[in-house]
Amino acid sequence: MEAVEDLENLRNTVISIEESIGKRVIGSRRIVRFMFIALLTGNHILMEGVPGLAKTMLANEFARHTRMKFRRIQFTPDMLPSDVTGTIMFNIESRKMEFKEGPIFANVILADEINRTPPKVQSALLEAMEETQVTIGGETHSLPKPFFVIATQNPIEQEGTFPLAEALMDRFLFRYYLEYPSREDELNILNSIGKYDDPSLVLMPDEIIEFRSQVDNVYISEEIKQYLVDLMRRTRENDLVYLGASPRTTAKYMKAARANALISGRSYVIPEDITFMAFEILNHRLILKPEAIMDETDDPKLIVKRIIDRVLSEVPVPK
């Protein structure tokens, strides 16, 4: 009975936070759900959109509603790995070498314009995102828990950028495309300016850690596991895909589906938990063949979406 109440409390809290952030960042409810899924599974999210779509405000509001320490790192071409992780400095007073923490020592990190910094700096995030630690001068330093990276990219301006390596891209559970708001949402943005309320419900860091431990207890039937495996295998068989989803993606996908069920107040996974996030979890993991883009005017994002929709239509949904 207590477990059921915990699930209901989590569901109500998440819905309340989605609504509260949605009042400040109009049209953000869907992406906030993906942020929660990534957070509860120990993963991270990559947001892609043109400047001015409130990506920084969204990350800040998410940290505020979860009472987590927030830091923004603005990535630039002249950065060094130590600008992110920290460095060892000589303390004149103590006459000892001491470690000075970098900005990555926080709970929520906004890695702003992550593709503007060289691969050497990008790689400094790999250990942090996967192991929740950084190694400096042969010493390992643990990062605060929970630890969550929200990275951003500008899809338009590519001059002076460094594409993310596949290994780093795979560290992001989701790549979420932010679009321009609808006419109604843009009017609501104007009407919301100057209105600022303290959140009525928040999720504390210790509660997040507790709910994280419950994700793997969410039941997933053998039929849905088979459905998920068949979807992933179908991405590898598509004639327009050079490289499909890996087995690691399959494992991450199952955990994400469990997290979505948990957030929805259920102790079991249903097929909709799989289909709900198919595009966001797969769009950066499918490498297309050159012939997939037949026309220069084709939008690669739409091509990937058509392929994912086709894969979903080809695999029977379990009853």
pLDDT digits (tens, 9 = 90+) for 53-75: 889 999 999 999 999 999 999 99
Single out the residue of 31, 83, 36 nearest to residue 57, CA to CA: 31
CATH superfamily of 1-191+202-213: P-loop containing nucleotide triphosphate hydrolases (3.40.50.300)
pLDDT given for residue 89 in this prediction: 86
Residue type, 139: E
Confidence (pLDDT) at 165: 83
Residues of the chain with pLDDT under 70: 1-4, 157-160, 196, 295-297
In this prediction, residue 2 carries a pLDDT of 59
Residues 85 and 87: their CA atoms lie apart, in Å, by 7
Would you say the pTM of this structure is higher than 0.85?
A: yes
pLDDT value of position 1: 45
Give domain limits for the chain: 1-191+202-213, 218-319
CATH of span 218-319: 1.10.8.80
DSSP state of 291: G
Phi and psi at residue 164, in whole multiples of 5°? -70, 140
At residue 295, the pLDDT reads 58
- Provide the pairing of β-strand 70-74 with 133-136: unpaired
**Collapsing DSSP states into helix, strand and coil, what is residue 246?**
coil
